[in-house]
Amino acid sequence: MGRIRDKLYKSERGIASQLVETPARTSATCSGASLSRAGKLSARNLDTRASPQPGSFWALRGGWPQPVARVTPGKMAATSSSDSDGGKGESEANSKWLDSLSDSMANIHTFSACLALADFHGDGEYKLAMGDLGPDGRQPRLKVLKGHTLVSQKPLPDLPAAAVTFLMASHEPRTPALAIASGPCVYVYKNLKPYFKFSLPSLPTNPLEQDLWNQAKEDQIDPLTLKEMLEGIREKAEVPLSVQSLRFLPLELSEMEAFVNQHKSKSIRRQTVITTMTTLKKNLADEDAVSCLVLGTENKELLVLDPEAFTILAKMSLPSVPAFLEASGQFDVEFRLAAACRNGSIYILRRDSKRPKYCIELGAQPVGLVGVHKVLVVGSNQDSLHGFTYKGKRLWTVQMPAAILAMNLLEQHSRGLQAVMAALANEEVRIYHDKVLLNVIRTPEAVTSLCFGRYGREDNTLIMTTLGGGLIIKILKRTAVFAEGGGEAGPPPSQAIKLNVPRKTRLYVDQTLREREAGTAMHRTFQADLYLLRLRAARAYVQALESSLSPVSLTAREPLKLHAVVQGLGPTFKLTLHLQNTSTARPILGLVVCFLYNEVLYALPRAFFKVPLLVPGLNYPLETFVKSLSDKGISDIIKVLVLREGQSTPLLSAHINMPMSEGLAAD
């Protein structure tokens, strides 16, 4: 019987190798819910460890897919992805991945934060839940995939920002719930059915705005006056306007009255929205422990929600709007939150801290944040990956060959491996362990979202969506081992080059001994000289301020800036003074310019003249001529003083080092 089974297996594998491309072509003809039919192209439940069960390969016959061969589910993904290890190409037999599905017509548009894998019904079958933006961003839906089949899709009221799975309670059955962040709300699903809706608390409104709408309600002001006053509030007030007022301002005059009549009876509300979401363990570090939801909002806050009552357990403030979140620890014990914000910084918050404890400045916009053990891996829009500790110390930096589109965590529990996946714009997915390149997967199109975990009954499944709405599913072979020898590890090669260090001389040895013996005295002498230098610099600075020797005025009343240019070879020079009013809105009037010089060496037609009105921000060139009188090639300094009429203390001054004259003027 064993020989017969081997012969059947070889014949089935030969048929599979000839029709290996059929699933992708068949799935291209199916869209939407027809994925259920194309889902038969591969293993029904992705369980390659189970006993062989009949599966089908399909081919297009008469314009409709028909079964042409039967193989076992474990052998149906015979084709391998085009991948390499550390930049070195591999054959299909040695590839680490098996192709399970490649459907370019799946019509899925999402990103990594909106993908979640979980066993929602407790039957051991892991499903994929995703917040789909829709092809044009106007039809958001919650889609659920089982294997290769789209089993359900539900409309969402707003565009999704994140999707996570979490346990709400520790009692049986321990089935996880699904949370979708959409607009100002979090929608919680149990068994993929609506369970609870949490709304963010309303923000305080502007009292002036509230008073204007109350007047409009009582017909005390017309719509045009309401618009003008709301525009004035928007420009000057610190509290932003409500959505109702913001929708009213861009309306045409003919539409204003209808809008006011429709909304004047409603109370105005200022509502924020959720920008990112993650989970934080409540009191245990187990994988199936109860977790809290952590929300990042548009008004620069982080909220931690109770998993059962959905009340706010903690509120923290940030200097900027969070875009990505990473949490570690337990809420009841000790935890750390890392928030990558839109201002290009990453803030670290700890338990009982209302404000960030550490700050990491990237110098670029973050495009992804992944926590690997005790290292924060950050992707930036400068095509680079950075590794930081939770205290802000930079560990390493890796430059990418293209822009980073998506990032996520790859965790292989069987081997204890945690790595970072980065999808690039050059149609590559790179896998890094620290700064070591482990694997490169090449895709037919740029990948926009990544998700790795248990799917169906397979432990290590990689799910990717592409820029054109395609869906790619790959399975990691159980025999695959990510080698760390082929990547960009260790110090750069230039560090191994030996330096040509000269031999130690007798003088060097004597100097070293002297420094070792008199080190304390030398350090004290150095510190004394350093303090004396600082004292002299401070005295000179104070003297310059008191005598207005600086070319920039430091007074808030007359903020001025002076710059002088000397042109010519002599004996007559052209002296141009550039005077500028650096204030924002206040002009300056009543200034005079005075020149102090040696009358034996130089002659000026005017040593004193008035300055016209200085408009803020404009540069005023004031020109005069300087004539050199000496025939000995002597030059001197000409002092320029800017004063206010009736005052003897100059506002600012400049010392001009005049060049030597090339010759005397003819008499």
Q: What 3-state DSSP class applies to 513?
A: helix
Question: Is residue 130 within 8 Å of 143, Cβ to Cβ?
Answer: yes
Cis previous bond, 155, omega within 30 = no
For residue 236, pLDDT over 90 is answered with no
Task: Look at residue 32 and tell me whether its pLDDT is greater than 50.
Answer: no
If pLDDT is split at 50, 70 and 90, which confidence band does 366 have?
very high
**Residue 415 burial (C-beta neighbours within 10 Å; 0-12, 13-18, 19+):** exposed
Instruction: Say what the pLDDT of residue 548 is.
Output: 59
Sequence-distant (≥ 6) Cβ neighbours of residue 565 within 8 angstroms: 575, 576, 578
Q: What is the pLDDT of residues 587-625, one digit of tens each?
A: 888 888 888 888 888 888 888 888 888 888 888 888 889
**For the chain, which residues make up each domain, given as ranges?**
93-202+272-476, 207-264, 552-657
d(CA 429, CA 9): 33
Asked if residue 269 lies in contact with residue 242, where contact means CB atoms within 8 angstroms, the answer is yes
> CA 91, CA 515: separation in Å to the nearest integer?
63
Q: Nearest CA to 291 among 329, 348, 237?
A: 329
Who has greater pLDDT, 489 or 336?
336
- Report whether pLDDT(52) > 90: no
Name residues whose C-beta falls within 8 Å of residue 12's C-beta, 6 or more positions apart in sequence.
Answer: 69, 70, 71, 72, 75
Is pLDDT of 53 > 60?
Answer: no
Q: For residue 43, what are the contacts with CB-CB under 8 A and spacing of at least 6?
A: 55, 73, 74, 76, 77, 100, 147, 456
pLDDT at residue 632, rounded to an integer: 78
Other CB atoms within a 10 A radius of the CB of residue 147 amount to 25
Assess contact for 477 and 84: CB atoms under 8 A: no
E strand intervals along 111-219? 115-118, 127-132, 141-146, 149-155, 160-166, 177-182, 185-190, 193-199
**pLDDT at residue 648 in the model:** 76
Please report the beta strands in 381-416, taking only residues with DSSP state E, as ranges in sequence order: 384-388, 394-399, 404-412
Strand partners, 504: none
| DSSP code for 307 | T
Q: What percent of the chain has pLDDT over 70?
A: 81
Residue 154, pLDDT > 70, answer yes
- Rounded to whole angstroms, the Cα distance separating 377 from 326 reads 10
pLDDT at residue number 422:
93
The gap between the terminal CA atoms of the chain, to the nearest Å, is 126
With CA atoms as reference, report the closest residue to 178 among 43, 167, 222, 311.
167
Task: Read off the amino acid at residue 542.
Answer: V
Cα–Cα distance between 176 and 119 in angstroms, integer?
A: 7
Say which CATH architecture domain 93-202+272-476 belongs to: 7 Propeller (2.130)
pLDDT tens profile 434-448:
888 888 999 999 999
Reply yes or no on whether the pLDDT at 382 is more than 50: yes
pLDDT band of residue 547 (cuts 50, 70, 90) is: low
Sole residue written with tokens 């080059």? 497
pLDDT recorded at residue 404: 92
Determine which of 75-79, 116-120, 331-335, 540-544 has the lowest per-residue pLDDT on average.
Answer: 75-79
316, pLDDT greater than 70: yes
**Domain 93-202+272-476 identical in fold to domain 552-657:** no
Of all residues in the chain, the percent with pLDDT exceeding 90 is: 22
**How high does pLDDT run on average in the chain?**
79
| CA atoms of 504 and 46, how far apart (whole Å) | 69
Scored b (16 or more CB within 10 A) or e, 334-356 reads ebbbbbbbebbbbbbbeeeeeeb
Spatial neighbors of 117 by CB under 8 A, at least 6 apart, are: 126, 127, 128, 129, 165, 451, 453, 454, 455, 463
CATH number given to 552-657: 2.60.40.1230
- Candidates 106, 102, 19; CA nearest to 67 is 19
pLDDT band, residue 450 (cuts 50/70/90): very high
- Give the pLDDT band of residue 322 (cuts 50, 70, 90): very high
pLDDT of amino acid 472: 92
Query: What is the Cα–Cα distance from 242 to 90, expressed in whole angstroms?
Result: 58
HSE-up (13 A, CA, CB side) for residue 100: 29
Give the whole-angstrom CA distance, residue 163 versus residue 463. Answer: 15
- Phi, psi at 241, each rounded to 5°: -75, 160
User: Which secondary-structure segment (H or E) carries 453?
Assistant: strand 447-455
Of 80, 116, 124, nearest in space to 474 by CA: 80
Q: Helix, strand or coil for residue 418? A: strand
